[in-house]
Structure 1
Amino acid sequence: MARAWGPLRRAAPALGLFAAARLTGALVLALWARHVGRSPRALLAKSWDSDWYTRIAAHGYGRTLYWPDGAAQSDLAFFPLYPGLVRAVATVLPVAYGTAGLLVSWLAAGAAAWGIYLVGERLAGRPAAVVLVLLWGLLPHSVVLTMAYTEPLMTAFAAWSLYALLTHRWLLAGALAALAGLSRPNGVAVAAAVLTAVAVELWRRRGRAGWRPWAGAALAPAGWLAYVLWVGARRGDPLGGYFAVQDGWTSRFDFGRGALRFVRDMLAGPTRFNLSMALVITAAGVLLLALLVLVERPPLPVLVYTGVLVLITVGGSGFFESKPRFLLPAFPLLLPVARALTRARPRAAILLVAGLAGLSFCYGVYVLTLAHMPL
């Protein structure tokens, strides 16, 4: 029993700081929402994609919105694990689907913070791991971690899968990667990490690694592939149907051409604050990836996971304002900053964290009550 509780006890300071950060952010949002006559619960449980997820949980798939320009946005673009869990909670507990979504997200965010701590502890030591979790909870878009969104769930599976890889638990890593792939489209990054780790293990042992790495590798992409093929079969095009659905949302991978056109147009004229923030945060993500490679030199699976997430974010077209949210699961990007803060003077570290907290809380209020653009 003591051995089982050991990792949780070590993570307790990090989890406490994370909970304090997100509860403070939620309180600031609630106070402002009340001030402007909005419902805090509705903002967290029914905004933007949250509404799609809770509708899928309540009624299943089958909703499509048609727009005057000919675009068709189908709910098949949303992966099934999160709405499935929301439906299960709403079935067991006497709560509405929106509340069930918040419960799932909050529990997942806590599990994600614990997994992030364990990965950070293994890669950079305990002090840096505590700071890593706090930084993740104070990112500008961290309000998403308290909303009925899928990022907390996917990050939880991703963090624990990476920890399983670092401790050579191949079956667990593959199973968690499969669940991550059922959570979000960019959950495929976790499968890429598992396949990379298995390939390295097989190369080191010259193919004599036993059956567990092979089984983990087979499991890892199963969730993502299963949903993509199911949507394709439902649309009458097994290999291309899912990507046609995503195209209806103007979401496609074009190696960054769409994003570059958007940035060019944005810089050519007046733009909104959240679009400028999205550009700054995305550029910071690319810079942090370079620092991760050059300074931290993490294990290859961690680097592959993070790199694939950044590649999907930067190379994808579509909702430019959502790119910072897509980077939320890429928590290893914060490792160089976390390690630097542990070495900095306490006063400087406290000032930086306080400034980041102020930005996080205020920006969360802005994107949910003032921006009027999708997260």
Structure 2
Amino acid sequence: MLSSDRAVAASRWRPYAVVLAVYALSRAVSAVFIVVAARAQVAVPASLSSYHQTVPGQIPARYRDVAVNWDAQWYWDIVLHGYPHTALGPDGQPVQTSLAFYPLYPTLCRLVGRATGLDFSLVGPTVSLLLGAAAVLMVYRLVATAVGADRALLVVTLLCTAMAAPVLQIAYTESLGLLLVATALHLLQRRRYGWTVVPIVLLGLTRNITVVLAAVVLVHWAVRIHTARRGGDDGERVPHLRLGGLLLVALAATATWPALVGVITGEANGYLTTMKAWPGFTSSPLHPPWVQAFAGAGPVAWVLGILVVVAFALVMSRPSVRAWGPELWGWTVAYCGYVVLTTSASSSIFRYLLMAFPFALVLVPAADGPDRVRRRLAVVAVLVAVGLVTQWYWVREFLVLAGPNFAYLFP
């Protein structure tokens, strides 16, 4: 009896061990890419004002020096100095400040740093790496609940080998954001509405994407109403009050950090003020940066952009895709729309799209026979190979500070 219980427990945890093995192996490969590419890193010129450097890295660069490039320097600034008390420069104009970066991740790093005595160049990447492990486990559980364990493992594999997946082990917020998004979606999927409040509130202190979860709550709510009207859910009543409260929490969480910035600076629009200093910023989704980019690129860009939007809409409207459930489907549609409406056409788009992980299910459809399973695995193998090649490119061209124009790549 005891051995039987152990066998059941082992079979229950084995998929999670496989997920962690995939994560560990992929992160090891990315680490090799970073170490090799680090040889090309150059010192940041003191005269270069477009790159914020809190602590100069060692040259020749090590893994830890590359892992705290770009936005990580802003988080290091927050860990060492906290936040400034204004979003304006001496001339009264908006300037780039750490107020643009949300506080939960640097707060975690500061606490770990104090507990261990290690500096941010070690703590930041390590915290991200561990949070990333928790995130892929939650992604697996979320997707497995919706479409099954086999496809969930393939989604995790594609996520871990995506072009910008090395961001999961550098001092950025993608790991924490991915963990909180997947947790919120899974709790919503299980209808644990009270607990869903926790990751939503924390996400409001991590990334400016909480409004997307508000859209997902609306989709989930609409599906529950539709199901109830058709006599589904075994007659269970739709909890309108709890879902309405959850929607309000998601909307309020969207405004949490901008409101706190107003308190810190005494400037009501302090967050938007500092954001205006970044290239590609837009204060309204009615004027998306992508439209501005297309306006100067000619009619071919417009045609291609429209074709991409139409193709995406057609794919996401397929019954097999809607069968993912309102949480995965709603997040994918709303998040991709949010990225298009609010972000600029830069290389950052590759790491932003890591959050659109459910879209990988389009590439690994359900397979009802041995032949289709083999074809699906072959497709995944090709995609993994392509992903690893593009990872090397992303690390070499976007992450490492190499060449005279590195400060304008916006990773």
Give me the whole-angstrom Cα distance separating, in 2, the residues matched to 1:42 and 1:320: 23
Equivalent of residue 17 in structure 1, options 12, 16, 22: 22
Q: Distance in 2 between matches of 1:319 and 1:244?
A: 21
Report the number of matched residues. 363
Distance in 2 between residues matched to 1:362 and 1:5, nearest whole Å: 39
Cα drift, residue 97 of structure 1 = 1.8
Note the C-alpha offset of 1:179. Answer: 1.1
Shift of the 52–361 alpha-carbon distance from structure 1 to 2, 3 Å rule, reads same
Deviation of 1:327 after TM superposition, in Å, equals: 1.8
Is the CA contact 1:188–1:221 (under 8 Å) kept in the aligned structure 2? Answer: yes
Aligned to 1:272: none
Is the Cα–Cα contact under 8 Å of residues 181 and 221 in structure 1 kept in the other structure?
Answer: no
- The equivalences for 1:1-375 within 5 A come to 8-34=13-39, 37-45=60-68, 47-62=69-84, 71-198=94-221, 200-201=223-224, 204=228, 209=239, 213=243, 216-236=246-266, 238=268, 240-250=269-279, 251-252=281-282, 253-255=284-286, 257-265=288-296, 287=311, 290-294=314-318, 295-297=320-322, 298-318=324-344, 320-339=346-365, 342=373, 344=375, 346-369=377-400, 370=402, 372=406, 373-375=409-411
Question: 2: CA distance between counterparts of 1:265 and 1:68?
Answer: 31
Structure 2 gap ranges (5+): 42-59, 229-234, 367-371
SS of the aligned residue for 2:182 comes to: helix
Structure-2 residue corresponding to 1:271:
none
Q: Indicate if the aligned counterparts of 2:288 and 2:341 stay in contact, CA closer than 8 A.
A: yes
Which amino acid in structure 2 is aligned with residue 231 of structure 1? V
CA distance in 2, matches of 1:286, 1:4: 46
The 1:360–1:186 alpha-carbon spacing in structure 2 relative to 1, beyond 3 Å, is same
Root-mean-square deviation (CA, aligned residues, Å) is 3.5
**Distance (whole Å) between structure 1 residues aligned to residue 17 and residue 309 of structure 2:** 28
Q: Distance in 2 between matches of 1:209 and 1:350?
A: 44
Amino acid at match of 2:254: W
Q: Supply the distance in 1 between the matched residues of 2:213 and 2:345 (Cα, whole angstroms).
A: 23
CA–CA separation in structure 2 for the residues paired with 1:145 and 1:23: 12
- Pick closer, same or farther for the CA change 1:237–1:60 going to 2, 3 Å: closer
CA–CA separation in structure 2 for the residues paired with 1:67 and 1:318: 27
Native 8 Å contact 1:282 1:323 kept in 2: no
- Kept in 1: contact 2:158–2:383 (CA 8 A): no
How has the CA–CA distance of structure 1 residues 8 and 185 changed in structure 2, closer, same or farther, with 3 Å as cutoff?
farther
Aligned counterparts of 1:77 and 1:305: Cα–Cα separation in 2: 24
Larger radius of gyration: 2
Change over 3 Å in CA distance of 1:334–1:198 after alignment to 2 = same
Distance 1:367 1:210, change over 3 A: closer
Shift in Å, 1:15 = 2.4
Q: 1:108·1:156 contact (CA, 8 Å) conserved in 2?
A: yes
The alignment's TM-score, normalised by the length of structure 2, stands at 0.76
How big is the shift at 1:330? 1.5
Conservation of the 8 A alpha-carbon contact between 1:198 and 1:213:
yes
* Distance of 2:327 and 2:218 partners within structure 1: 8
Farther-moved stretch of structure 1 (174-183 vs 1-10): 1-10
Partners of 1:290 and 1:256 lie apart in 2 by 24
Displacement, 1:261? Answer: 2.6
SS of the aligned residue for 1:321 comes to: coil
Secondary structure at 2:96 match in 1: strand
* CA shift digits 1:134-171 (9 cap, x unpaired): 11111111121111001110110100111111111112
Q: 1:322 to 1:226 in 2, by over 3 A?
A: same
1:207/1:117 CA distance change after superposition, 3 Å: same
CA distance in 1, matches of 2:391, 2:384: 10
State the secondary structure of the residue aligned to 2:137.
helix
* Cα shift at 1:302: 2.6
| Deviation (angstroms), 1:283 | 8.8
- Alpha-carbon distance in 2 for matches of 1:109, 1:318: 26
What do residues 231-266 of structure 1 show as CA deviations (whole Å, max 9, x unaligned)?
23445454x443233223242244454323324546
Q: Which structure 1 residue ranges, 5 or more long, are not aligned?
A: 269-275
